[in-house]
Structure 1
Amino acid sequence: MKILKVCSLNYYPVVADFYRRNLWIRDLPYAQHKQFLLDFSPVHLNRFSEYMRGLGYECDEVVTDLESLQFQWAKENGFDCPQGGWRMEILLKQIETIKPDLLYFQDISTLPPAIRRRLKNYYPFLKGTIVYRGFPIYQPGLEDVDLLLTGAANLLEEYNKQGIAARFLPHAFEAKVLDKVDAWQSPFHGQSFDFSFLGYSGHGGYGTHHRDRLEFLRNLLRDTQLECWLAEQSEPEQSSEPPLPTQFPNRCHPGLMGLDMYQVLQQSKVVFNKHSSAHPGQVENMRLFEATGIGTCLLTDYGDNLSSLFELDHELVAYHSYEECIEKLNYLLDHPKARDDIAKAAQRRTLRDHTWEQRADAVDQYIKEVFKKA
């Protein structure tokens, strides 16, 4: 059975900054360019396809929002793509060329819903579609999806009620970054950080579900020595407060991804995490697994389901309020042995239970259930 995974990197300012610092990558042949990205491990591009191949599938992936990569594929495959609408046009040509049995959408935004729903009509070889919903917001109009994967309990329940085959699949850690992160020469290689945050601050774009994090970060920057690497949107912000990099220019840096991000996580004593407000009381974002997998101590907001993923106060530390966050941060910084013990226990747990290789095993079982894989 042949699977094509459709993903995107999404964090446009971070991606653009990375390519500005590594202009030579744009000139690589398609296969070398993509292999470099797989080794670099940015955001949603991981070794999932490799693990699925190890389970007997033919599996490949395309990254639909990387213009230089996608246009190189088009060039090498003799496809004269128009500049307008290139993301959709190249993806449709890739589906036509690769002829997968299953499409696995890590990101469904590339295709308009009306086109996605008719894919089986366009491509008779296509047996089904799989969609991953990582953000815990219900999205209607997915009745055409054959298998929906999510780590959000609320979505699991909602989609199953509609008769959509929904299965549980949390985010995970790409363990192969451990082979490369020590030697990687990031812009912050060799530095040490007491308290770090990496990710989307909540300023501009991505809706209102991240606004609580923005104010939380503002207070932490005021009250602690927090250092931030921020994925920011440039859209106007309806706020009397300036953006965090304007207010705290010495401790707010441009966002990072891939090995650049993992190296800062690894070099941090404590990493801060706060989920969106999309589904209060439930937690399960990528940072839970990235920080614990790389071997750092994670300080994260509490959720009712957190103890099903990690052992509280042994494998990570959770807070219920701003005051408790500060109190626990100070304890962790003042007690290096306790902090290191938590970080090591968290890494053991993540490598045991929460890697993409293990998630691939789960996807294999779900495919066999839903598609009756021969």
Structure 2
Amino acid sequence: MRIFQNNGLSRGFRVHRRQSPYQSFAAGRAQFLETRFTASHILLPVFANSPDAFYTNGDDERLQMQWAKENGLRTKNLEQILLAQIEQHRTEVFYNLDPIRYGSEFVAKLPGCVRKSIGWRAAPSGSADLTKYDLIVCNFPSILDSWRQKGCRVAYFFPAHDPVMDAYAAARTDELDLIFIGGFSRHHVKRSQALRAAASTPGIRARFYLEDSRLTRLANFLPPVPALRSYRHPDEIREIRADPLYGLDAYAAIAKSRIVFNGAVDMAGEDRGNMRCFEATGCGAVLLTDAGRYPEGFVDGETMLEYSSPEQIPELINRLMRDETLARSIAQAGCAMVRERYSKQLQWTKFQDLI
């Protein structure tokens, strides 16, 4: 199976990644893959350097222009470059992690060698048209239902344990009691309430690595402005805020904290299972997360710990701080579970079954 996997870079990752100069497309791609950004979603043949697998970030202008230069393609149009890569690779299966940028209009332009087109989309997306894809996948059943109602064929698929996490899980230290890694904006209403409760827990060493929205960054940079009040970090969060982390930097931070705090964004409904769940457990921390419908194996009190309201959060944090045996048991069980149930090999096997 000749598979092509396309990805997109988040705004925060673009700003904070550290790039070294590279002189070839292969070197630039290798440099990116070494960061392990979104590694839970990247398929096994890519990391195994299979000759049948091609990977790129279709919105990375520097990387894509390097490929165009090497292949004599005189265009700055990123869509045209992506189509040329697919055609040259003789792709049979196109798996796209950035289907909003490359939707149905793009799929209609795919060369004839492509037999299946699959898009990962784990969020409601307004009027976006993905109906030309042969399959839309993610691990949120309610979101799959919304795509089905729009006329898409859908299937359940899941992130995987990144084997690189094992080294971090084996070398854990508890320099911090609790961390959070994720986005923050005024639209994250429930998450913001939960973060404030966690940050207000007395006597804990905590740090929140926040990817702020543009207006949130502006509101916290300027002196207090009434029009931007709702965008500012609450005082208790501002005191422990740090810049966002991705990939290996996130793994390292998780491995230095006893507890990883998690909270779904409001649009997820009751479904749970964002990438942080797999990273926290995979790196051997206790996952403290909001109640909801989780993927198989994520069990409250066994492989993670759930809170159902902000008021519960300080109590649960203190419980984990007092009872080291309980915290260690949950962390170890979660790590073993995600490594066994969500391995890269099982993810790849499931992907082939979908095809």
TM-score bracket, shorter-length normalisation: 0.7 to 0.9
In structure 2, the partner of 1:214 is: 192
Say whether the 8 Å CA contact 1:134–1:171 is kept in structure 2. no
After TM superposition, the structure 1 stretch with the greater mean CA deviation from structure 2, 311-320 or 220-229, is 220-229
Shift of 1:355: 2.7
Give the residue type in structure 1 aligned to 2:91: P
Counterpart check, 1:141 vs 2:129: yes
- TM-fit CA distance, 1:362: 0.4
Cross-structure match for 1:372 = none
**Residues in 2 aligned to 1:45 and 1:357: alpha-carbon distance in whole angstroms:** 12
Match of 2:8 in 1: 8
Which residue of structure 2 lines up, in the alignment, with residue 260 of structure 1?
249
Structure 1 vs Structure 2 CA RMSD: 2.9
- Whole-Å separation in 1 of the counterparts to 2:60 and 2:121: 21
Is it true that 1:119 corresponds to 2:109 in the alignment?
yes
Match of 2:177 in 1: 194
1:35 aligns with 2:24: no
State whether residues 288 and 306 of structure 2, in contact with CA within 8 Å, keep that contact through their aligned partners in structure 1. yes
Separation in 2 of the partners of 1:233 and 1:76?
A: 36
- Change in Cα spacing, 1:339 to 1:151, as seen in structure 2 (3 Å) is same
Query: Does the aligned pair in 1 maintain the 2:185–2:231 contact within 8 Å?
Result: no
**Which 5+ residue runs of structure 2 have no aligned equivalent?**
220-226
Partner of 2:90: 99
For residue 327 of structure 1, give the secondary structure of its aligned residue in structure 2: helix
**1:317-328, aligned counterparts within 5 Å?**
317-328=305-316
Post-superposition shift, 1:292?
0.5
SS of 1:310's equivalent? Answer: coil
| 1:318 counterpart SS class | strand
Change (3 A) 1:252 1:163: closer
Query: Percent identical across equivalent pairs?
Result: 22
Residues 40, 275 of structure 2: 8 Å contact kept? no
Alignment size in residue pairs: 344
Q: Structure 1 residue 258: deviation in Å?
A: 0.8
What is the deviation of 1:159? 4.1
CA–CA distance in structure 1, aligned partners of residues 144 and 135 of structure 2: 11
User: Residues 175 and 44 of structure 1: is their aligned pair in 2 closer, same or farther, counting only changes over 3 Å?
Assistant: closer
Task: Verify the 8 A CA contact 1:218 1:244 in the aligned structure 2.
Answer: no
Which residue in 1 is equivalent to 2:224? none
SS at match of 1:198: strand
AA matched with 2:92 = D
The farther-off stretch of 328-337 and 131-140 is 131-140
Q: Is the 8 A contact 1:136 1:154 kept in 2?
A: no
Residue 356 of structure 1: how far off its partner (Å): 3.1
TM norm structure 2: 0.86
The residue that corresponds to 2:290 in the other structure is: 301
Query: What corresponds to 2:223 in structure 1?
Result: none
Given the two structures, how large is their TM-score scaled by the length of structure 1? 0.82
2:124–2:146 CA contact under 8 A, matched in 1: no
Which AA in structure 2 matches 1:108?
P
Contact 2:97–2:120 (8 Å) recurs in 1: yes
2:266 matched residue in structure 1: 277
